[in-house]
Amino acid sequence: MERVYRLTISCPDRVGIVAKVGQFLSGHGGWIVEANHYSDLASGQFFMRHCIKADSLPLGLEQFKQEFAAIADAFDMQWDVKDSGEAKKVILMASRESHCLADLLHRWHSQELHCDIPCVISNHDTLRSMVEWHGIPFFHVPVDKSNKEEHFRRVSAIVDEHHADTIVLARYMQILPPDLCQRYAGQVINIHHSFLPSFVGAKPYHQAAERGVKLIGATCHYVTEELDAGPIIDQDVIRVSHKDTVEDMVRLGKDVEKMVLARGVRSHLEDRVLRHGNKTIVF
């Protein structure tokens, strides 16, 4: 994959944004390989993402930022620009269930997911060997009712030590405390094993079996302080029938969970996800 700069913009919609940004880029010889636009008519907000060949620009990332700042100010933009060559640092957190973790590790190992994984954190020691086979450090940080605060203090310390910019909760079954939700806002991705907003909280497959639904699902979302209520990145479902027990649903659901999580993480890593209130634009 060619190295690109990924420019993402959100600003109040008005005439001339596209022209101005286009002029800026072409003025520097920037070759656009992908461009996405979205005008939210209801809110009047405009969203944009460009990928520009890094080699076509005579600007480094810092210089790009400095030069673009004037346009950004003029149009009141929230914006960012990333170099695809600088891999994000992603910490994976898991519990005892291996399917999401194994799936992400395999995608990383086979170079499908472009990121660094400085370490994996788990409240159980179960998955250590699997993680270490991949050459990734594994931190076992136990948790029980008595030491939650201590647990999250250690988690937070590990995240900071490794300069992680993304945390993926790959079926990590603990609820993040509000201060961590705020501190890492927009950086923590969770997979919930239901088609939200149905079946929030614990044991969603039991809830699904109880209700007799004919499809079960999974939801990948950014974590916010309200449980399972953060901005949704991706969702999917799979058909079930009366023949499927809760155990069958758990098994079938695993495939949906890992697929949806992998897609959501990939979109995040490629800077395709822009937040808009409690919703997402996924370019």
Active site members: 228
- Which stretch in 73-81, 156-164, 170-178, 207-215 sits in contact with its own copies by CB under 8 A? 207-215
SS3 167: strand
d(CA 180, CA 157): 11
Site for its own copies in 169-198 (CB under 8 A): 195-198
CB of 256 to its own copies, least distance (A): 10
CB of 123 to its own copies, least distance (A): 18
CB of 218 to its own copies, least distance (A): 11
Site for its own copies in 72-131 (CB under 8 A): 98-99, 102-103, 106, 109-110, 112, 129-130
DSSP type of residue 11: E
d(CA 103, CA 112): 11
Pick one of 119, 153, 241, 269: the residue that binds its own copies (CB under 8 A).
Answer: 241
CA 210 → CA 228, 235, 256, distances in Å?
20, 21, 20
d(CA 140, CA 121): 6
| Residue 26 interacting with its own copies (CB under 8 A) | yes
| Residue 206 interacting with its own copies (CB under 8 A) | no
CB of 193 to its own copies, least distance (A): 15
Pick one of 80, 165, 225, 255: the residue that binds its own copies (CB under 8 A).
Answer: 255
Site for its own copies in 39-68 (CB under 8 A): 39-42, 56
CB of 76 to its own copies, least distance (A): 17
CB of 84 to its own copies, least distance (A): 15
SS3 191: strand
Tokens of 69: 């700042």
Tokens of 25: 């880029």
- Which stretch in 68-76, 139-147, 155-163, 237-245 sits in contact with its own copies by CB under 8 A? 237-245
Pick one of 3, 18, 60, 148: the residue that binds its own copies (CB under 8 A).
Answer: 18
242: Cα within 13 Å, side-chain hemisphere: 0
Tokens of 262: 């992998």
d(CA 176, CA 178): 7
Pick one of 12, 29, 44, 178: the residue that binds its own copies (CB under 8 A).
Answer: 29
| Residue 27 interacting with its own copies (CB under 8 A) | yes
Site for its own copies in 135-154 (CB under 8 A): none
User: Measured from the CB atom, is 91 or 217 closer to its own copies?
Assistant: 217
Tokens of 59: 């600007």
DSSP type of residue 175: P
- Which stretch in 31-39, 87-95, 151-159, 185-193 sits in contact with its own copies by CB under 8 A? 31-39
Tokens of 1: 């994959």
Q: Where are the alpha helices (DSSP H) in 60-212?
A: 61-74, 99-109, 128-133, 148-161, 178-183, 204-211
Pick one of 115, 155, 204, 231: the residue that binds its own copies (CB under 8 A).
Answer: 231
d(CA 94, CA 283): 28
